[in-house]
């Protein structure tokens, strides 16, 4: 009987499973006690009746010990169906057997799939009839998003969730060993510019080192396609706008530097590999699923570092007293930063296009943006109109690591991938996101503890 530890794989549990497990957990300690007493009595009677025969006594004792230890092992597997390392916290989530490969169906590993962008990408992939494995350590993601996805696609074999940290080489190796992936969409990363200036080593470990581990595992297990989630922060603060893919990369904060290092590793690796690689450098992400299934739900402790859209919505809902705008002395028309805001639905569509168009032994690098910039003040006004709330705004000094103006030139991705942004009305994207925020005041309302 195989009772070895496997990487946790979860799906929504049924009431029958819960009842069965509760019953087994009640009776198993009694069975263990019975086995212990049974072994003791066997040894005692064997000694009394066969002590005169040393060899016969040893033989019978060995048989008894073997029989009882196997019974103990069986009982232990009932109590811990996947080993003691993952026995904690599974009353709401259960394991499914997930076939290692299904012919004719693309199996995509989505790292960071419990996060804002990753969960939306998973939704799209599942809607397109792909199989998806999410790997996430839930340090920034939401287990609630995974549960929503499992509820939308409950069939066994469609969606697998693995709780793991990509910084753990053994876990990464185990994941790739136990699965057959056709492609990897690598979203998992810490992604706050301000935080990166305060804790740069976290960003180099989480982004650069973890990407290296994923790439090594892909190469070892012959995974053919990588779609890498990069950022316009790798460009820094270019002198000329709009930004093209040929614009020199001179990042000015640890977040952008860590992403550029990861890109460099991928590009160097590509010279000796036939892997199909797509690198997407995208701009400021907003919006949410138009059908209202998913949205952005940052951790409360990270709201200070989060996206401006999240801060606007928090202010509109009264969670925070007002919006803090950092920097009004930039060399722009109204003194505030200019950004290219890309809707998450469009961004996910770009990833799917990249997956479809990826070619062996080739690297594609694309900016993903609308091609137009909006200032922070313009963004705030659009947010006020979308929410119908006159949000209080406080203007503060600049934040370290920020740049004045960034927006994309999307012509290359349009030409080569036939992709262009559809949700280009800033107020419309904010209105869709606000609809989800209003009905999810506490985010997904689900603890990230696996129980």
Separation in Å, CA 97 to CA 105, 178, 345, 424: 17, 11, 31, 42
Catalytic residues: 255
By C-alpha distance, which of 124, 89, 113, 77 is closest to 13?
Answer: 89
Number of continuous H segments (helices) and E segments (strands) in the chain: 14, 15
Closest CA to 369 of 419, 312, 305: 419
Q: Is the peptide bond before 242 cis (omega within 30 degrees of 0)?
A: yes
Cα–Cα–Cα angle for 190, 291, 113, rounded to 5 degrees: 25
The count of C-alpha atoms lying within 13 angstroms of the C-alpha of 26, restricted to the half-sphere facing its C-beta, is 6
Backbone phi, psi, residue 361, to 5°:
65, 20
The residues with which 109 forms a beta bridge, in sequence order, are: 133, 184
Q: Which of 155, 78, 148 is nearest to 114 (CA)?
A: 148
Looking up tokens 């739900």 gives 297
d(CA 295, CA 304): 18
Helix 426-439 vs helix 376-387: crossing angle, to nearest 10 = 50
> Which tokens in the block code for residue 311?
């801060």
Site of tokens 């989530």: 93
Q: How far is residue 222's CA from residue 101's CA, in Å, rounded to a whole number?
A: 14
CB-based contact 401:196 (threshold 8 Å): yes
The Cα angle at residue 301 between residues 295 and 302, in degrees rounded to 5: 55
From residue 255, give the alpha-carbon distance in Å to each of 113, 228, 230, 332, 375: 20, 15, 10, 24, 22
């Amino acid at each position: 009987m195989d009772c070895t530890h496997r990487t946790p794989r979860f799906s929504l549990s049924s009431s029958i499973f819960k009842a069965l497990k509760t019953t087994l957990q009640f009776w198993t300690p009694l069975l263990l006690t019975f086995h212990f007493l049974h072994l003791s009595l066997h040894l005692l009677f064997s000694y009394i009746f066969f002590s005169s025969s040393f060899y016969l006594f040893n033989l019978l004792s060995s048989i008894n010990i073997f029989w009882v230890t196997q019974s103990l092992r069986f009982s232990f597997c009932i109590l811990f169906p996947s080993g003691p390392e993952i026995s904690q916290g599974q009353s709401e989530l259960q394991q499914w057997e997930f076939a290692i490969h299904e012919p004719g169906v693309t199996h995509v590993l989505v790292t960071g799939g419990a996060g804002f962008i990753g969960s939306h990408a998973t939704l799209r992939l599942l809607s397109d009839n792909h199989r998806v494995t999410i790997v996430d350590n839930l340090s920034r993601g939401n287990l609630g998003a995974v549960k929503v996805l499992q509820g939308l696609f409950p069939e066994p074999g469609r969606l697998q969730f693995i709780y793991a940290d990509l910084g753990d080489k053994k876990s990464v190796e185990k994941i790739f060993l136990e699965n057959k992936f056709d492609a990897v969409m690598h979203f998992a990363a810490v992604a706050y510019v301000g935080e990166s200036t305060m804790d740069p080593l976290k960003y180099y470990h989480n982004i650069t080192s973890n990407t290296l581990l994923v790439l090594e595992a892909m190469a070892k297990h012959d995974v053919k396609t990588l779609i890498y989630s990069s950022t316009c922060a790798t460009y820094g603060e270019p002198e000329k706008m709009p930004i093209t893919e040929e614009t020199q990369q001179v990042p000015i904060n640890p977040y952008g530097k860590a992403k550029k290092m990861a890109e460099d590793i991928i590009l160097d690796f590509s010279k000796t590999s036939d892997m199909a690689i797509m690198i997407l450098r995208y701009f400021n992400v907003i919006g949410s699923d138009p059908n209202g299934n998913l949205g952005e739900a940052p951790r409360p402790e990270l709201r200070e570092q989060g996206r401006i859209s999240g801060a606007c919505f928090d202010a509109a809902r009264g969670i925070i007293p007002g919006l803090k705008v950092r920097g009004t002395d930039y060399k722009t028309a109204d003194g505030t930063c200019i950004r290219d805001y890309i809707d998450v639905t469009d961004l996910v569509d770009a990833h799917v296009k990249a997956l479809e168009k990826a070619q062996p032994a080739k690297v594609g690098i694309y900016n993903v943006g609308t091609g137009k910039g909006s200032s922070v003040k313009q963004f705030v006004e659009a947010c006020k109109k979308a929410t119908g709330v006159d949000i209080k705004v406080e203007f503060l000094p600049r934040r370290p690591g920020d740049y004045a103006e960034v927006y994309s030139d999307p012509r290359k991705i349009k030409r080569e991938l036939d992709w262009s942004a559809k949700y280009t009305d800033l107020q419309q994207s904010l209105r869709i996101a606000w609809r989800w925020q209003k009905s999810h005041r506490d985010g997904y309302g689900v603890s990230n503890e696996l129980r």
